[in-house]
């Protein structure tokens, strides 16, 4: 039997729709033992309710869900609301969610399963930054850290110079990249932006639960976007199917000197110290074949 992988999922579900698309994948991935979901960014309790709606549609009320912090460590938030929460009345969901319990929950799970937990983080890094800063031993107790975070190469024209999650809490991002976690994988915009579907393709293919909930949430996203880019689902898929991408090792430093550049990720392969791995190239066709084979 293929190895079961214990995953903790930290997410800002409710802003970009790809978080919900990612959660649907994790819930249907037979090799994923989803140990819990934690939420981050503005209105974390509503984000947790959205996660519970997706879980309930998948028949997975057993997954622990814990709201985290709604504010970055130092800088003002640029994600104060969870827009997709307007769809919550459409779907059954939990409301008995303990506020601001994410960091303690993560600490307990990781300590209870030393060197067994893959921590997948696809939102601003605030929960992780607080966890790593207050529990310095935690990074060394992880099996693996996988992030959807950063911009590392210039493969695509028009790429922004910094990525949403790294920018969302740059100080927490710097803490996370300084943490002694091995292996440490980042999947950046330069790779994830190659994997996208149009609204019509999404409506056609997102049929079975829990994708039926996700496509409803996606209608909120489509009010301001003409596609779904599978940033977070690609990061999740690489935990189970790493050959979808090619990789390179090096070192990530996070810009904290110039405020207008806060959260910019500086990538180097020249230093002797290479604690970080980044995804370098992706096969989009292979990714989508894998994603829909798992989710139906």
Check whether 55 has a pLDDT greater than 90.
yes
In this prediction, residue 200 carries a pLDDT of: 98
- Over residues 270-286, mean pLDDT: 92
- Over residues 14-19, mean pLDDT: 98
Which pLDDT band, with edges at 50, 70 and 90, does 2 fall under? confident
pTM score > 0.95 for this model?
Answer: yes
| CA atoms of 144 and 165, how far apart (whole Å) | 19
Q: What is the pLDDT of residues 166-203, one digit of tens each?
A: 999 999 999 999 999 999 999 999 999 999 999 999 99
Q: What is the pLDDT of residues 224-269, one digit of tens each?
A: 999 999 999 999 999 999 999 999 999 999 999 999 999 999 999 8
Which pLDDT band, with edges at 50, 70 and 90, does 153 fall under? confident
In this prediction, residue 132 carries a pLDDT of: 98
- Over residues 41-58, mean pLDDT: 98
Distances 275 to 43, 182, 265 between C-alpha atoms, Å: 33, 7, 14
**Residues forming beta bridges with residue 9, ordered by sequence position:** 37, 120
In this prediction, residue 271 carries a pLDDT of: 67
Which pLDDT band, with edges at 50, 70 and 90, does 280 fall under? very high
| CA atoms of 33 and 13, how far apart (whole Å) | 19
Peptide bond between residue 210 and the one before it cis (omega within 30 degrees of 0): yes
| CA atoms of 105 and 22, how far apart (whole Å) | 21
In this prediction, residue 159 carries a pLDDT of: 86
Average pLDDT, the chain: 96
3-class SS of residue 118:
strand
Sign of CA dihedral 232, 21, 168, 146: negative
CATH for the stretch 5-295? 3.90.245.10
Give the count of beta carbons closer than 10 Å to the beta carbon of residue 192: 22
Which pLDDT band, with edges at 50, 70 and 90, does 155 fall under? low
Check whether 1 has a pLDDT greater than 70.
no
Which pLDDT band, with edges at 50, 70 and 90, does 69 fall under? very high
């Amino acid at each position: 039997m293929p190895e079961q992988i214990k995953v903790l999922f930290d997410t800002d579900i409710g802003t970009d729709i790809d978080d919900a698309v990612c959660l649907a994948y994790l819930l249907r991935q037979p090799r994923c033992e989803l140990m819990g979901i934690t939420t981050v960014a503005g209105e974390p309790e509503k984000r947790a309710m959205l996660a519970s709606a997706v879980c309930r549609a998948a028949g997975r009320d057993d997954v622990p869900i814990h709201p985290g912090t709604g504010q970055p460590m130092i800088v003002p938030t640029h994600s104060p609301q969870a827009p997709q929460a307007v769809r919550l009345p459409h779907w059954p969901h939990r409301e008995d969610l303990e506020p601001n319990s994410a960091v303690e929950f993560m600490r307990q799970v990781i300590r209870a399963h030393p060197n067994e937990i893959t921590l997948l983080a696809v939102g601003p890094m605030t929960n992780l930054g607080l966890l790593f800063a207050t529990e310095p031993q935690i990074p060394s107790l992880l099996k693996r850290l996988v992030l959807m975070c950063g911009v590392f190469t210039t493969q695509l024209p028009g790429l922004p110079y910094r990525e949403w999650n790294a920018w969302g809490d740059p100080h927490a991002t710097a803490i996370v990249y300084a943490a002694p976690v091995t292996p440490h994988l980042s999947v950046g915009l330069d790779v994830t932006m190659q994997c996208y579907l149009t609204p019509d393709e999404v409506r056609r293919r997102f049929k079975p639960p829990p994708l039926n909930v996700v496509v409803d949430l996606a209608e909120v996203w489509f009010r301001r976007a003409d596609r779904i880019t599978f940033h977070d689902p690609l990061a999740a898929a690489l935990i189970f199917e790493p050959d979808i991408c090619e990789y390179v090792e090096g070192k990530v430093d996070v810009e904290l000197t110039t405020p207008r550049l806060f959260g910019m990720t500086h990538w180097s392969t020249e230093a002797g110290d290479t604690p970080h791995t980044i995804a370098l190239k992706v096969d989009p066709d292979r990714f989508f074949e894998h994603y829909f084979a798992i989710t139906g």
